[in-house]
Amino acid sequence: MKTAPRSTSALLYLSGVTVSFDGFKALNNLSLLIEPGEMRAIIGPNGAGKTTMMDVITGKTRPDEGEVVFDGQADLTKLDEAHIATLGIGRKFQKPTVFENHTVRDNLLLALAGLRSWYKLLGAAPTRAENNRLAEILSIIRMEAQQHMLGARLSHGQKQWLEIGMLLAQNPKLMLVDEPVAGMTDVETETTAQVLREVNKSHSVVVVEHDMSFVRALGVKVTVLHEGSMLAEGSLDQVSADPRVVEVYLGR
């Protein structure tokens, strides 16, 4: 089933997206709509296709079928990762990946929105505005003390924070955040929810998370994925009450 691209006000619009790996459908006719300024939580059991959905949006995986439209115009299925990133889509990975041989500060500097072209970077020194922004982000993620530490020496939780900081530095229109609180303490989890709510004031956010108390703390609309399709959508209380959701996910 194919629908023509709607002229939509949606920031992100997925329609009929299917991805198969050797016949196995990781995404099966998935449709999703994110409004500008919205924060959406995506939940679903292991293997539901949450990460694959992010791979499709960021250009890592090409869908076999379906449309992915960003900002009402850009067809993301035709663009590569770097192009999509410069359109304003940032991503935090499920497995935190920071640059191990770079300091926390250099990690953030690399992520900082702005210079990407190789020949301009040859002669550029960080500007005052860039340094100020780095200081701001370091304070939001509470890593001022570690700013000169190499990425390789950070704990798992610190890497998670650094990744969130890199997302902030990138300042994208849409943030895709894959399991941000895995490996964090309860206090850190609560702080992360606060940070994301704060970030959501100026950015649209899609968060994938298993941690239900975290999703509850976010207090936003929830989409439940199951076997590559959308199973339910609504507030956390609504979807928790849905018998199909209970069966595949919450009831276990």
Ligand X SMILES: Nc1ncnc2c1ncn2[C@@H]1O[C@H](COP(=O)(O)OP(=O)(O)OP(=O)(O)O)[C@@H](O)[C@H]1O
Number of residues that bind other proteins (CB under 8 A): 31
Q: Give yes or no for residue 107 binding Mg ion (CB under 5 A).
A: no
Contact 68, 17 (CB under 8 A): yes
Selected from 29, 31, 38, 47, the binder of ligand X by CB under 6 A is 47
194 lies in the binding site for other proteins (CB under 8 A) = no
Give the count of beta carbons closer than 10 Å to the beta carbon of residue 14. Answer: 23
Minimum Å gap between C-beta 26 and ligand X is 3
Positive or negative torsion for Cα 72, 170, 61, 229:
negative
Using CB under 8 A as the binding rule, whether residue 101 contacts other proteins is answered as yes
Q: Contacting ligand X (CB under 6 A), which of 15, 51, 160, 200?
A: 51
C-alpha dihedral sign at 71, 88, 188, 52: positive
Asked if 58 is part of the footprint of Mg ion (rule: CB under 5 A), the reply reads no
Tokens of 225: 């994925």
Please report whether residue 132 would count as binding other proteins according to CB under 8 A. no
The nearer residue to other proteins, 125 or 187, going by C-beta atoms, is 125
**What is the C-alpha to C-alpha distance for residues 45 and 211, in angstroms, rounded to an integer?**
11
Locate 172 and state its tokens.
Answer: 């994208």
User: Is 100 among the residues that bind other proteins (CB under 8 A)?
Assistant: yes
91 φ/ψ angles, rounded to the nearest 5 degrees: -140, 140
Three-state SS at 247: helix
Q: Candidates 97, 139, 185, 235: give the one binding other proteins (CB under 8 A).
A: 97
Site residues for other proteins, 147-176, by CB under 8 A, read 166, 170
